[in-house]
Amino acid sequence: MNIRSLEPTVVWNHFEDLNNVPRPSKKEERVIAFMKEFGESNGLSTYVDPAGNVIIKKPASTGMENRQTVILQSHLDMVHQKNSDTDFDFNTQGINMLIDGDWVTADGTTLGADNGMGVAAIMSLLVSKDVSHPALEALFTIDEETGMTGAFELEKNILDGTILLNLDTEDDDEFSIGCAGGIDTNTSYDYQPVNTNDSDSAFEISVTGLKGGHSGMDIHLERGNANKIMNRLVASLEKFDVRISSIDGGSLRNAIPRESFAKIVVDNKNIADKLNEEIQVIKHEFSISDANLAVSFKEVSTPENSMSIADTKKVIQSIRAVQNGVYKMSMAIAGLVETSSSLARVIVGNGSFQTQSLQRSSVESSKTDIAKTVGSSFLMIGANVEHTGSYPGWAPNPNSEILEIMVPLYKEMYNDQPRVQACHAGLECGILNERYPGLDMISFGPTIKNPHSPDEKVHIGSVKKFWELLLEVLVRIPKKN
């Protein structure tokens, strides 16, 4: 069986068409052109705003003209992550998809189900001939994963809808009615490289095999952070006068870092016992959350220069001190992470030590507090700290009209109660609510596991369930006021 023969075929075919188009964040030109051609070729009103968002409008089907207009929203970009041993160019290649039992996954890369399944479902509605629906306004935003630029720059007078269905939630039994806001903390520290000695030895250390994942939705799972683990390994060698020559840890700001690679200089070669001891301790700690964690090291030729011992200690202590993981659980919603931080990127080399981290919170004041807390770890060594890309959360509305429609509908269709909750991820709903105050919003979608990592997969049966629910929701959209 191939992807295009899966049910519902209309959705899976659009998903495969979409996944044949390279669509990294900040480089969405090809997918914008693809969506524009899609809308126009189907005779639909199609508009690309100055930011690059694509808006496609479709009139109501016969008999549904008196219903409220619905905005269907998903983002076009996808997180690009691959395993280090996977030969793949996201800028030129389409995603290689595979069927693995009840799941669809990709061959060593992210799948793009986040948020490609939502995009594909909306495309399927736009081309439908026999689906009952009110007037639809499809909003395909750009750059959601690296700054939500599309949502921030969306024109204020282009949409008329009163209900917004965001199709970017990742459990098919969950309705999201709120989300966390976020802010980036970027730090930089310049150091003067020092020359190494002929008697020095150098080693490369590799941390690989971690699960990684979404730094919001997966942060509570206590998965290993490659940057923090690498720092522990380097710190264990302090008695050998360890000096950092280079570090390249993590990849994307919104993904839990899975890999880190470092080159260090020490004053003798006899570090194996100490490193192996620390490796065993760390692997034991993460034996449940990250059973495939792999740490290796090997001796290499000594580089011409490295950090000084003093600067190396500053790096070690700042990374050791920085908050990483869950910071606070919500007191308002049971089981919800309120505030967190993820140390996503650590780069050392050429006289510069840089970090990137992402703080999230459903409480604006707590978001500011955790960002300042993280920044202080680096301010204490004299680093420059910059907070950028702040975006608001989405406050839950328990009296939402669309929620009151969807909860009993779900129970009617599946003889079960959906989970209604806020999520610890950055949905665009908070920003869109600022652009269009008063929108009645809800988010739902199929089951997607391990987004933002090469282990990303979408459950086949849940796509069918999600599609059937979406069709029925549209039939029950209330009349215009």
* All residues at 6 or more sequence positions from 318 whose CB lies less than 8 Å from its CB, including other chains: 377, 378, 380, 381, 383
Cα–Cα distance, 361 to 356 (Å, whole number):
17
Region of 181 on the Ramachandran plot (φ > 0 left; ψ -120 to 50 alpha; else beta): beta
Give catalytic status of residue 77 as yes or no.
yes
Cα–Cα distance, 5 to 378 (Å, whole number):
53
Rg for the chain (alpha carbons), in Å? 24
Query: Is residue 217 within 8 Å of residue 448, measured between CB atoms?
Result: no
Give catalytic status of residue 412 as yes or no.
no
Catalytic residue among 16, 28, 77, 456: 77
Query: Is residue 339 within 8 Å of residue 219, measured between CB atoms?
Result: no
Catalytic residue among 16, 114, 137, 144: 144
Q: What does the buried/exposed string (b/e) look like for 48-73 if buried means 16 or more CB atoms within 10 Å of the residue's CB? A: bbeebbbbbbbebbeebeebbbbbbb
How does DSSP assign 398-463, residue by residue?
TT-HHHHHHHHHHHHHHSSPPEEEEESS--THHHHHHHSTT-EEEE----EESTTSTT-EEEHHHH
Query: Which residues are marked as active site?
Result: 77, 144
